[in-house]
């Protein structure tokens, strides 16, 4: 659509902070981009960029316009999807911002199952912490966010909330592996590895220990749960994770034990979209299937939920 080119140029210049850099990315000349921007500003009735020695940046009017552009692009994707649905074309693209715990097993399985029935639908999966995932929703960079214990939630329309207890993860020969019940204090009495404070699991641990007037004393802090699952096989350490990321842990020679609720209250894995946004058809359909899968996901120590 030729009328979208100017809007694409505005977004490209805003992202690059430079007309020259944006022109290179768009395979255009700087003068052509500059003329198109000036023509748009004249028709729009006000400047949208501030020009300075280092490049350009959006002014207040430009920020409002960019938000409108992204909203309109999202609405156009919805209309395209609805038209394709009417004529029976099963295609589209779904972008998901998700917590790291979803990537080893849960999300690949769900996407593969979905694509068996809708092979024309493609996906982008971006691993983001709970703050970045919400930010991608508000900027229309993601259709859906699937995150553990989001932070702000101001623009977060919750589609499903799945409880997830914090689990202790250890090697099969760890002294606690055969204990009748694994308590948090016992885990912390020995070597333990924990995620950084960007993650919901760490937030829940910190909150629980604040009430108990005790602090973590980890031998390792990491941004990778895969790393932590590997490291607990050394030094007889204990790690902490949520069940949905531990589907294959037993096959890796690990023991997974949910911590009692009185030690660490469960958190929630939330599936959401930007509040007030109408999702494209493919994203809306996939969100429905994710919701069903999360509701039926078995929680350690509890009976599996009934199938609907």
Domain CATH number, residue 205? 3.40.190.290
**pLDDT of the residue at 85:** 62
Are residue 154 and residue 121 in the same domain, yes or no? yes
Distance CA(212)–CA(236), nearest Å, equals 24
Are residue 10 and residue 131 in the same domain, yes or no? no
Distance CA(55)–CA(12), nearest Å, equals 13
Q: What is the pLDDT of residues 1-33, one digit of tens each?
A: 555 778 888 888 988 899 888 888 878 888 888
Q: 164 and 175 in contact (C-beta within 8 Å)? A: no
Lowest mean pLDDT among 1-5, 35-39, 54-58: 1-5
Region of 267 please: left (phi>0), alpha (psi -120 to 50) or beta.
beta
DSSP lists the bridge partners of residue 91 as 120
**pLDDT of the residue at 3:** 59
Are residue 276 and residue 140 in the same domain, yes or no? yes
pTM summary value? 0.68
Domain CATH number, residue 47? 1.10.10.10
Distance CA(107)–CA(122), nearest Å, equals 14
DSSP lists the bridge partners of residue 101 as none
- Domain containing 278: what range? 90-163+268-295
Are residue 141 and residue 275 in the same domain, yes or no? yes
Are residue 57 and residue 196 in the same domain, yes or no? no
Pairing of strands 49-52, 91-98: unpaired
Q: What is the pLDDT of residues 102-145, one digit of tens each?
A: 988 899 999 999 998 888 899 999 998 878 888 888 888 999 99
Are residue 118 and residue 204 in the same domain, yes or no? no
Report the domain count for the chain: 3
Domain CATH number, residue 284? 3.40.190.10
């Amino acid at each position: 659509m030729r009328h979208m080119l100017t809007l694409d140029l505005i977004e490209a210049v805003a992202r690059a902070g430079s007309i020259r850099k944006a022109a290179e990315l768009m395979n255009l000349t700087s003068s052509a981009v500059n003329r198109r921007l000036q023509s748009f500003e004249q028709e729009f009735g006000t400047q949208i960029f501030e020009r300075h020695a280092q490049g350009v940046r959006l002014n207040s009017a430009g920020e409002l316009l960019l938000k409108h552009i992204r909203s309109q692009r999202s609405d156009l994707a919805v209309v395209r999807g609805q038209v394709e649905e009417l004529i029976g074309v099963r295609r589209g693209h779904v972008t998901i911002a998700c917590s790291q715990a979803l990537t080893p097993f849960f999300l690949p399985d769900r996407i593969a199952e979905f694509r068996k029935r809708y092979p024309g639908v493609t996906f982008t999966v971006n691993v983001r912490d709970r703050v970045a995932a919400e930010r991608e929703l508000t900027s229309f960079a993601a259709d859906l966010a699937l995150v553990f214990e989001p932070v702000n939630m101001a623009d977060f329309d919750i589609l499903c909330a799945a409880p997830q207890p914090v689990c202790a993860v250890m090697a099969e020969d760890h002294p606690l592996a055969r204990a009748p019940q694994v308590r948090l204090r016992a885990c912390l009495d020995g070597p333990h590895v924990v995620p950084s404070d960007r993650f919901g699991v760490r937030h829940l641990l910190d909150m629980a220990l604040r009430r108990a007037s005790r602090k973590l004393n980890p031998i390792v802090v990491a941004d990778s749960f895969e790393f932590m699952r590997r490291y607990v096989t050394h030094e007889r350490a204990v790690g902490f994770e949520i069940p949905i990321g531990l589907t294959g842990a037993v096959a890796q020679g690990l023991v997974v034990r949910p911590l009692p609720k009185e030690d660490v209250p469960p958190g929630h894995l939330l599936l959401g979209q930007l509040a007030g946004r109408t999702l494209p058809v493919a994203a809306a359909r996939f969100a429905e299937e994710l919701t069903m899968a999360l509701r039926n996901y078995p929680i350690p120590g509890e009976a599996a939920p009934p199938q609907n």
